[in-house]
Amino acid sequence: MISTFLQRLTSRGMATGIRHIRLLTPTVQAMSTSAASSYSFETIKVTSPLENVYLVELNRPDKLNSMNTTMWREVGVCFNKLAEDGDCRAVVLSGSGRLFTAGLDLSDFGDIVGVVMGDDDIARKARKLKAVIEEFQDSFSAIEKCPKPVIAAVHNACVGGGVDLICSTDIRYCSSDAWFQVKEVDIGLAADVGTLQRLPKIISNESLVRELAFSARKMFSSEAEKCGLVSRVFDNKESLLTGALEMASTIASKSPVAVQNTKTSLVYARDHTVQEGLDYMKILNMSMLQSEDLRIAAMTQMSKSKEKAVYAKL
């Protein structure tokens, strides 16, 4: 049924589109193997185990991947860089070692304590605290602003700041031993880097969200799956990582124009009315429908061979 369409759509592609594909192919492959090596951080580790797929690991295993200020900052820097990296089309976020993350590394927040305990005027302390909170928020929001899909792969503990972190990702998988804890009330504060804002929009079982947030009780993998915090549970960390990377690879094989506009449109839609979401798509797709990716996608579907479509970097 779609053949007429494809013939028309690809008639020009035969002349010009194919040329693009050929030209792009070697470049893409050459870069994708080595690109991840330019990411060098103290607390996180970045590799590219599959073509166009990056694996970002929280990497302080001896400290239970607890989040010190360096890690917080590096997460932001890393995802801002991934946003611009044409070799990266999908990201898996996991924790190295025994567990995903034990949450805030309170031993590293001396500066904030210094502000709070200092002799400054309340208004001036407030201004400084606001700057710190903003920096922390922006670091995690970088994951949401990065147009490449990010899959969190959680094993064992995901506590406090860890929940804020995964709420900024797109897809959440976990292993059966995983547990989650919105920990903030236990240190006397209302969570301010994403959990209270994003979690209710992720699972929308309001009763459960509030129970977790008010009581700081643990939630285990089966409940997390049932309420939709995670969309798949795997047997163990190994199968979890395999599953997450496979999904990432599937995503990475699609048109990056299609995938990345899908992500930014979903984020936009979450925060707007349906009509505003539709209006946004109109403005966005009036250029994006002119992309050569549509032609390439159509040619791929038409061809009976199992050859993979090759899209230019984005």
Question: For residues 23-62, which are near a second copy according to CB under 8 A?
Answer: none
Cβ closest to a second copy, residue 44 vs residue 147:
147
Which residues contact residue 70 at a Cβ distance below 8 angstroms, ignoring those fewer than 6 apart?
A: 42, 43, 108
What is the C-alpha to C-alpha distance for residues 308 and 286, in angstroms, rounded to an integer? 27
Report the site for a second copy in 68-127 (rule: CB under 8 A).
90, 105-110, 112-114, 116-117, 120-127
Report the site for a second copy in 128-167 (rule: CB under 8 A).
129-130, 133-134, 137, 141, 144, 149
CB of 163 vs a second copy, minimal distance in Å: 13
Residue 99 backbone dihedrals phi, psi, to 5 degrees? -150, 170
What is the C-alpha to C-alpha distance for residues 280 and 284, in angstroms, rounded to an integer? 6
Q: Please list the residues that pair with 220 across neighbouring strands.
A: 179
Residue from the set 93, 171, 233, 241 that interacts with a second copy by CB under 8 A: 171
Q: Is 295 in the site for a second copy (CB under 8 A)?
A: yes
Q: Is 251 in the site for a second copy (CB under 8 A)?
A: yes
CB of 109 vs a second copy, minimal distance in Å: 6
What is the C-alpha to C-alpha distance for residues 152 and 242, in angstroms, rounded to an integer? 12
Cβ closest to a second copy, residue 57 vs residue 164:
164
Report the site for a second copy in 196-215 (rule: CB under 8 A).
196-198, 200-211, 213-215
Size of the site for a second copy (CB under 8 A): 125
Q: b/e string for 126-161 if b means 16 or more Cβ within 10 A?
A: eebeeeeeeebbebbbbbbebbbbbbbbbbbbbbbb
Cβ closest to a second copy, residue 211 vs residue 235:
211
CB of 106 vs a second copy, minimal distance in Å: 4
Cβ closest to a second copy, residue 40 vs residue 122:
122
Q: Is 305 in the site for a second copy (CB under 8 A)?
A: no
Residue from the set 76, 88, 172, 237 that interacts with a second copy by CB under 8 A: 172
Cβ closest to a second copy, residue 37 vs residue 201:
201
What is the C-alpha to C-alpha distance for residues 27 and 41, in angstroms, rounded to an integer? 26
CB of 292 vs a second copy, minimal distance in Å: 5
Cβ closest to a second copy, residue 31 vs residue 314:
314
User: How distant, in Å, are the alpha carbons of 203, 247, 277, 282, 285 from that of 274?
Assistant: 19, 28, 5, 13, 16
Q: Around Cβ 278, how many Cβ atoms within 10 Å? A: 11
In contact, 163 and 142? CB cutoff 8 Å: no
